[in-house]
Amino acid sequence: MGFLVAQGPGICTPSWGGYYTLESGPDAWDESGQIFLYDEVAAVRATGGDVVASLGGAASIPLEVACPDASALAHQLRIIVDTLGLKALDFDVEGAWLADDASVRRRNAAIMQLQTELAAEGRTVDVWFTLPVLPTGITPDGEALLADALAQGVAIAGVNVMTMDYGDGAAPDPEGQMGTYAIEAVTALHAQMTTLWQDAGLTPSPATTWSRIGATPMIGLNDVLTETFTLDDAAQLRAFAVDQGMGLLSMWSVNRDHPCPDSESVQLTCSSTEDQTEDWQFIGALGGD
């Protein structure tokens, strides 16, 4: 679920997108009436599932920028974990914030404080980082973020990469190749993570490293309009993920998993790809159903 960000510049208090408080959570309306996010979370948990809250994203002010220091940020992270009953957090770091060394270090220090505090109580929280990627792997800024997290002692459960919007220079002739480019991206990430963990004095097995890797494609038409992630691409990526034992497959985003084959632009409510003819086909392709 995303994104949790600061309520505003210099306001070290979490909100959903700057619009909804943490306490109330987002709501929306459809033909059946008003829907509350936290009711949906309870329904998911009632089936045996669970949720992860994602902090950051491409817009708004991240908490690590608004909070004055690591201790203040760690306090807010603890409030998020306790309020939502979370067992995992995701930090989506992109754009200018990925290169902001001060907020990178502050975030990692706060995560370490949170994990240490919870460990003293016999609790854990899994921490994932969601980062931009190219077919050649994550950027040097992404590598620096992970290196700093490892140096500060953060227990990183996994790294999820956004296998989307590469651009023609990085991913030429993408038609029919978006599944291949995603596989190239996570394969390159595996090599990068192996080196980063070794440099930190850690030696996880290749299989363990794969279990710490996730991929999130943008289903259907991407923001880079030459790129379309099709159902065949989804099936190709899933087969690779299963074979390697990857820890996570996701997609951006569930509200787009509907057909609208005549669309030539990115839509919020459908995938804009000709091969999708029914609702939820990408969930099926990535989930194997």
Catalytic residues, which ones?
A: 94
* CA dist., res. 131 & res. 139, Å (int): 9
In three-state form (DSSP H/G/I as H, E/B as E, the rest C), the secondary structure along the chain is: CEEEEEEECCEEEEEECCCEECCCCCEEEECCEEEEHHHHHHHHHHCCCCCCEEEECCCCCCHHHHCCCHHHHHHHHHHHHHHHCCCEEEEECCHHHHHCHHHHHHHHHHHHHHHHHHHHCCCCCEEEEEEEEECCEECHHHHHHHHHHHHCCCCCCEEEEECCCCCCCCCCCCCCCHHHHHHHHHHHHHHHHHHHHHHCCCCCCHHHHHHCEEECCECEECCCCCCEECHHHHHHHHHHHHHHCCCEECCECHHHCCCCCCCCCCCCCCCCCCCCCCCCHHHHHHHCC
Give the HSE-up count for residue 9: Cα atoms under 13 Å, Cβ half-sphere.
0
Q: 106, 62 in Cβ contact below 8 A? A: no
Neighbours of 264 (CB within 10 A): 8
Please choose, from the candidates 213, 232, 239, the residue with its C-alpha nearest in 3D space to the C-alpha of residue 282. Answer: 232
